[in-house]
Amino acid sequence: MNSTTEHPILIGCSGWSYPDWVGPFYPPGLHQGDFLEHYADHFPVVEVDSTFYRPPTRQMVRSWRDRTPEGFLFALKVPRVITHDKQLKGCQEEVDGFLTSIEPLGKKLGCALLQLGYFNRSAFGTLEEFLDVLDAFLGRWPTGRVPLAVEVRNPRWVGPELASVLTGHGASLTLTEQSWMPSPREVAEQIDPITGPFSFVRLLGDRQGIERITTTWDRIVVDRSRELAETAEVLRSLASRVPVFVFANNHYAGYSPETARVLRGLLGIADPTPPDRPKRTLFD
């Protein structure tokens, strides 16, 4: 926890299953089955991307729960069949299935992330049409049981109308550092960015731009120091009011564990001290 803020700022990465991290983050020879345990020794929270592509099995979720320490938290992406294929309409069966699948996490379920697409006019002709659908969807989502962060990817839709709908349902607006979206600072200058019981921030960067430089995620290749310093100030402001989740993506600067480490330093958050524990290697 940052001693200069009232609420915790929990900084993590977007996933942990990256073979490119072996060497710079995971010890050479570490068994892949121990990646999550090692990750959880160094971060208090993780964003799970795999649930976007398919709901997890309850057995998998129990494994995540049992392999991480008390107090560790997961943020799980809502499956794309809900967000992209059905576009929040006629998807209650899929929502119920997802919520059932993640129940075994128990107290380690931090929140779910509703990552929406860049909907064009063939999906929603107007912002009002989209907000009507979102309002109905959120009315059925059990935010008291599964807190929800909502990310829209149309920059024109991030405004007071969206914030009003989210606030009405206790859903949290997701702030992103992404190439075509307004920055967290820009959003905070236009509207109150806090619409729910926590704040959710994603450091996403420019996927296409960075993949022209590298597709190996083991080192920083883009200098984001200016943006990180700017966002750190926003995070301090947010944390004066609510807890804050922050997730760094490899596509932000090239190597998300280092992005997270630099951000911790900017915020005065001490690096965690990992416990001593035996690790399996590939040869065990």
Per-residue model confidence as pLDDT tens digits over 124-156: 889 999 999 999 999 999 999 999 999 999 999
CA angle 201, 204, 210 (to 5 degrees): 165
- Given this model, what pLDDT does residue 2 score? 44
Taking only the tens place, the pLDDT of each residue in 179-215 is: 999 999 999 999 999 999 999 999 999 999 999 999 9
Contact status, residue 157 vs residue 127, Cβ threshold 8 Å: yes
Q: Is the pLDDT of residue 7 over 60?
A: yes
Q: Is the pLDDT of residue 284 over 80?
A: no
* Segment holding 128, helix H or strand E: helix 127-140
Does the pLDDT of residue 174 top 90, yes or no? yes
75 touches 111 (CB < 8 A): yes
pLDDT at 71: 96
Q: Residue ranges of the domains in the chain? A: 9-267
3-class state of residue 94 by DSSP? helix
Calpha distance 169→44 (Å, rounded): 27
pLDDT at 6 exceeding the cut of 70: yes
How would residue 3 be classed by pLDDT, with cut points 50, 70 and 90?
Answer: very low
Angle made by CA atoms 105, 37, 20, in degrees to the nearest 5: 115
The first and second tokens of residue 236, run together, are 């301090």
How far apart are alpha carbons 257 and 249 in whole angstroms? 9
Specify the CATH class of 9-267 in words. alpha beta
The pTM of this model reads: 0.94
Q: Which of 226, 219, 184 is nearest to 203 (CA)?
A: 184
Distance CA 20, CA 216 (A): 6
CB 166 within 8 A of CB 142: no
Q: Please report, rounded to a whole number, the percentage of residues in the chain having pLDDT higher than 70.
A: 95
